[in-house]
Amino acid sequence: MGEGAVIKQQVVGKPKAVQLDFMPFKFCPGCHESLVWRALGEVIDELDIQGKAIACLDIGCSGVLMVGLAVDGLHCLHGRSTAVAAGVKRVLPQAICFNIGGDGSLCAIGAGHMVNVMMRSDPITTIFLNNSGYGMTGGQVAPTSLIGLRTTTTPEGRDVQSTGFPLHLSEIAATMLGTAYVSRVSVHTPANYQKARKAIKTAFQKQMDGVGYSLVEILCACPPNWGLSPLAANSFVEEKLIGEFPLGEFKNVDKIEYTVDPEINRVGRVKRG
């Protein structure tokens, strides 16, 4: 090959499970949800579950993945994607069912369903996108908003007296007996992206192995609603969001253990026959 020749070699391609037919691109510049999209596509390819995966999408910016992922799916009423995924799994136990939702879908209007799937250990996977506010509807305060964060409904900053403290869903999930895997990750650096991909894969694997419910919380930047440039929003994730919501694997078990106490089992109004 002569001097100065350019070698063109594709080193990375689009995951099979990602489809781009719905372009133009729907995410804002600097939005991290598009990285989650890619990570999901890569994991679905790696586990070879494209024909078995069923995505239950909630209301919010992530709902666009309904057409961005080349898997079967349902677009659910607001807050109900968790319950729908649990229901689909009961009807189709061989399917790999996962739901994707944001701060409102999983921590506010849909919080009750989250508690119930964890309590029942429904073997589904939840991908929770935490961007500290309501993205699609214009940046209102969310249960996960940082204290002091200026939102369209807390223009002076989130005030604990009127709107409470940030909700830590992963920490709550880790205390629930029915959860098999709980992890909080981010995608704001290449290294963190790889960890997020690994966490999603582990969560799906827990479901495939029939262990129980799995949750991956992913910290995401929302530059327009934070009033920051994409670059500044990336730094905000590193410097502030992770400060409130530390990254890590909160729970990872291969079996959910429990016992039935015979003495308790003798108590109750219904007598043994």
Binding site for ligand SF4 (CB under 6 A): 27-28, 31, 33, 61, 131, 135-136, 222-225
CA angle at residue 233 from 230 to 239, to 5 degrees? 150
Q: Which is nearer to ligand SF4, 187 or 211 (CB)?
A: 187
> Nearest distance from residue 37's CB to ligand SF4, in Å?
11
Cα end-to-end span (Å), the chain: 88
Q: Least CB distance from residue 224 to ligand SF4, whole Å?
A: 5
Q: Please tell me the distance from the alpha carbon of residue 19 to that of residue 115, in angstroms, as a whole number.
A: 32
> Is the Cβ of residue 175 or residue 229 nearer to ligand SF4 in the bound state?
229
Going by their DSSP bridges, the two strands 248-252 and 179-186 should be labelled as antiparallel
Sort 17 into a burial class: Cβ within 10 Å, 0-12 / 13-18 / 19+. Answer: buried
- Kindly report the three-state secondary structure assignment for every residue of 15-46: CCCECCCCCCCCCCCCCCHHHHHHHHHHHHHH
Q: How far is the CB of 62 from ligand SF4 (least distance, A)?
A: 8
Nearer Cβ to ligand SF4, position 73 or 135?
135
The distance of closest approach from Cβ of residue 194 to ligand SF4 in the complex, given in angstroms and rounded to an integer, is 21
**Shorter beta-carbon distance to ligand SF4: residue 49 or 142:** 142
Closer to ligand SF4 by Cβ: residue 115 or 242:
242
What is the Cα–Cα distance from 141 to 21, expressed in whole angstroms?
33
Q: How does strand 53-57 pair with strand 96-101? A: parallel
What SS3 class is residue 167?
Answer: coil
User: Could you tell me the smallest distance in angstroms from the CB atom of residue 233 to ligand SF4?
Assistant: 8
